[in-house]
Structure 1
Amino acid sequence: MNYLRILVLCCGWLVSFSAAQAQGRIKGVVQDSITNEPLSFASVFLANTTLGATTTESGTFDFAKVPPGTYELVGSYVGYRLAKQTITVGPTPLQVTLRLAPTGQQLGEVVVQPAPNKPEEYKKFTELFLGGTSFSAQCTISNPEAVRVLFDDTDNELSVRAKEYVQIDNDALGYRLKYFGLDFSHNEDDGSVAYVGQPVFEEMTSPDEAKRRKWAANRLTAYKGSFMHFLRSVYQNRLKEEGFLVQQVRVLYNPRYEQIEKQREALQKSRPDGAFTAAEQDSLDRWARAVPVTATLNTNALPIDSIRRVSADGRHTYLRFTGELQVAYFGEAPDPRYKRKMSPLGAPPRGTTYPANRQVSRLKLQGKEAEIQANGSLLNPLDVYNGEYWGFERIGEFLPVDYNPPASATVRPAAPARPAPPRR
């Protein structure tokens, strides 16, 4: 199966942590890396959050109330390269200096304007980047001229860059997203999609109260069952309470598949006219049904200790498991635009049924484990691949990590398996 790698260098936090721990403070200055002169009115933000600021005339900035956690602090200024610095916010105030390197044009340098994007390649990018959900249909890239799309037919790879940022207006969730440093790639051979960058969210405003309520309701819909929701549930040991069921996927490789393929190719070459005997055609039909990989599902729910490891000192928590996992979420029906068969693996235990309206995703690790920070995010997003339903959700459902569901919102927990109706 294809897995989506969304490589967003970001972090998040949980309601319980932001409420229980004192908020931190970040003060700093943005300077020219060569002259050390302060840069007035530069943009500074914490990636993947709604927390942003503009520097004063003396180049200083101040984030007075920041929930604890690890962030990517980003500085942006016209005529300068993006500056990034990883910081960890705690009770002690931080003092940070961001130095931006100028991109200044040299005397006599000739600026070559890039060729316009091919419409079909740009359309392919927007479909893959924004996604195909109902919320994705309400997203618009408002500065398409900033996007440069290139297709390399040698390796069948579509790559996309943006000189400064890509701006996406999400009218479904009420966010204006500026995606700085976008580096997007799609390989047509294996179907993989990856993108990395430093996004910042801005809250949209509207005098229409009904629209604001709709935004709030859609944000909750986007959150329920999301990968962010899952990670927070793992960290807090609340998988069942939050509506998740995690099961082990067993992947089996067919050791004879390569030999079967060689036999099939040899037989077809020996009969260029396609005149196979009945026995040969029977062999070809049988070989055509062979598959390189099969997967089965352990119907029992995995205990938390098979998914999560907590260090002896209690200071580190890891997502840890072997092989692949199937993660079902029972708290919300899938998007009506999701046309793939849900839960392609296995069936519930004999004599039981699962609710039909569930979201089913797949998960695997790049290595042995991936650290979940105290704020609920992965320390290194590159450590995890996800697919199926999570792979279907893209920018249309993309929430800032400082999003927390309303206190009044309840998530329906995963219902225990119900007895199946008697067979007649």
Structure 2
Amino acid sequence: MRYAAILLLFLLVNTTGGWAQSTLNGTIRDSLTQKPLELASVFLANTTYGASTNASGQFTIKNVPAGPYDLIVSYVGYQLFKRRITVGNGAQPLELLLTPSAQQLKGVTVRPNPNRESDYQKFAETFLGRTSFSRQCRIRNPDAVLVAFDAEQNQLTASSPTFVQVDNDALGYRVKYYGLEFTLNFKQQYVSFYGWPVFEEMTPRRNKQRQRWLTNREKAYRGSLTHFLKSVRDNDLAQQGFLVRKLRIVPNPRFARTDSLRKALLRARRNQALTAAEMDSIDRWVKMPPNFSMLYMAERPIDSLRRAEFTPKRVYLRFSDYLQVSYLREAPDPLYQPARPFGAPPGPVARPIRQISLLTLTQPEVEILPNGQLVEPLAVLTDEYWAFEKMGELLPLDYQPPPSTTPR
């Protein structure tokens, strides 16, 4: 099944990309007894920065770049702790209190997960993705995922009371995805999921594997939404290999005028009171698209994509309608199957030779930070190639690509 508009959401940490670095340290305690909690996991979401507490409940995270982060603390028997913090210069001691979970207070017995195998497989396939890199990802704790299907809503949902661990052997990361909230809506044809992932570098078995991971990480970054947004902020789209055009989705007036007739014909077909000619007519109405896409061939000027302030420098993504974003330096993944465009005639869809994505805003504008992240990640919707890429291409926000070389 191909989703016409796929929404992929992460609650991302927003780092400034500055050079200043700091040390985070603090103590984790029980909110009721004030007892220090040993071996609590403390991390900055969507990065590789993290630590565990010692016997005194203390932790230290060194060399953290300045900027805003989501600080997450996980400990068995306690509610997941979340706090937005801003890292500045110098040491920043924190005193954090964890609340016992309801299961711990009431002594609730944890029962086996009653997931249906087919529901879980659909979740796993959609969550991990269908790319070549996604095929090298594995969920290591499937029993931690709770999947449910609502027949009335025609919707599959999934969550986890702890975390979902994904080992990505394509990029060399072990990802623990906390607070998962996943929705796959078959009726409205969209998928969304969000949470707080933390990354751990896997240990390569040999240097050849390490080099493969480095190569694949750069491949996952080049042409990604993060790469594109950073290029918009830095005003070097063409130098980075991006071509941006405006796309409008407009209603098909003929479809609107004939919709009532189409419905009448379909009712007649259910009653089996149609001639062969009338059946052919139904087929034509059914195939008529409700919308058409209009692509403007001129490349969009940078001022139509962003609003910039220079004292201090702040850049906002801002545009109307849709953007068609082509990445010209890399072919699509061999497993990518493009969707049929609005209004396209029946038959096979031509395979693109470039990575082509669609982007639209859910609000008038959103700030882009220096590392290519958005202050509000939920402000954008992606479709086509960016919607195709999922966990297989997910990188931590502290990933630094090698310097760009001569354009390919």
Q: TM-score, normalised by structure 2?
A: 0.90
User: How far apart, CA to CA, are the structure 1 residues paired with 2:279 and 2:114?
Assistant: 52
State the percentage of identical aligned residues. 47
Determine which of 168, 176, 179 is the counterpart of 1:178: 176
Question: What is the Cα-based RMSD across aligned positions, in Å?
Answer: 2.5
1:4 CA displacement? 2.6
Determine which of 388, 402, 408 is the counterpart of 1:392: 388
Which position in structure 2 is the counterpart of 1:227?
A: 225
Determine which of 127, 130, 152 is the counterpart of 1:129: 127
**CA pair 66-34 structure 1, distance change in 2 beyond 3 A:** same
1:204 CA displacement? 0.6
User: How far apart, CA to CA, are the structure 2 residues paired with 1:112 and 1:356?
Assistant: 49
- The within-5 A match list for 1:37-48 is 37-48=35-46
Which position in structure 2 is the counterpart of 1:11?
A: 13
**CA pair 311-33 structure 1, distance change in 2 beyond 3 A:** farther
User: How far apart, CA to CA, are the structure 1 residues paired with 2:273 and 2:361?
Assistant: 45
Determine which of 315, 321, 324 is the counterpart of 2:322: 324
Which position in structure 1 is the counterpart of 2:348?
A: none
Which position in structure 2 is the counterpart of 1:274?
A: 273
1:142-170 CA-to-partner distances (Å, cap 9, x unmatched) read 11111111111111111111121111111
Farther off after superposition, 140-149 or 112-121: 112-121
Which position in structure 2 is the counterpart of 1:91?
A: 89
1:292-351 CA-to-partner distances (Å, cap 9, x unmatched) read 110111111111111111236344321110111100001211110012269x589xxxxx
Which position in structure 2 is the counterpart of 1:236?
A: 234
| Matched positions, count | 398
1:277 CA displacement? 9.1
User: How far apart, CA to CA, are the structure 2 residues paired with 1:136 and 1:277?
Assistant: 46
1:367-422 CA-to-partner distances (Å, cap 9, x unmatched) read 11122124431111111100100000010111111111123x53736xxxxxxxxx
Q: Secondary structure at the match of 1:7?
A: coil
Give the unaligned 5+ runs of structure 1.
347-354, 414-424
Q: Secondary structure at the match of 1:239?
A: coil
Q: Is the 8 A contact 2:319 2:365 kept in 1?
A: yes
Q: Is the 8 A contact 2:77 2:103 kept in 1?
A: no
Which position in structure 2 is the counterpart of 1:291?
A: 289
Which position in structure 1 is the counterpart of 2:376?
A: 380
Say if 2:405 is the partner of 1:410.
yes
**CA pair 54-22 structure 1, distance change in 2 beyond 3 A:** same
1:65 CA displacement? 1.1
Give the unaligned 5+ runs of structure 2.
344-350
Q: Is the 8 A contact 1:42 1:76 kept in 2?
A: yes
User: How far apart, CA to CA, are the structure 2 residues paired with 1:324 and 1:161?
Assistant: 31
Structure 2 counterpart of 1:380, one-letter code: E
Farther off after superposition, 305-314 or 233-242: 305-314
1:252 CA displacement? 0.9
User: How far apart, CA to CA, are the structure 1 residues paired with 2:104 and 2:234?
Assistant: 54
- The within-5 A match list for 1:153-164 is 153-164=151-162
User: How far apart, CA to CA, are the structure 2 residues paired with 1:59 and 1:302?
Assistant: 54
Q: Is the 8 A contact 2:322 2:360 kept in 1?
A: yes
Q: TM-score, normalised by structure 1?
A: 0.87
Which position in structure 1 is the counterpart of 2:366?
A: 370
Q: Secondary structure at the match of 2:230?
A: helix
Q: Secondary structure at the match of 1:246?
A: strand
Q: Is the 8 A contact 1:33 1:99 kept in 2?
A: yes
Structure 2 counterpart of 1:196, one-letter code: Y
Which position in structure 1 is the counterpart of 2:25?
A: 27
Structure 2 counterpart of 1:10, one-letter code: L
Structure 2 counterpart of 1:3, one-letter code: A
User: How far apart, CA to CA, are the structure 1 residues paired with 2:264 and 2:300?
Assistant: 45
1:46 CA displacement? 0.5
Q: Secondary structure at the match of 2:7?
A: strand
Q: Is the 8 A contact 1:242 1:411 kept in 2?
A: no
Q: Secondary structure at the match of 2:239?
A: helix
**CA pair 133-107 structure 1, distance change in 2 beyond 3 A:** closer
Q: Is the 8 A contact 1:141 1:169 kept in 2?
A: yes
Which position in structure 2 is the counterpart of 1:417?
A: none
1:13 CA displacement? 4.9
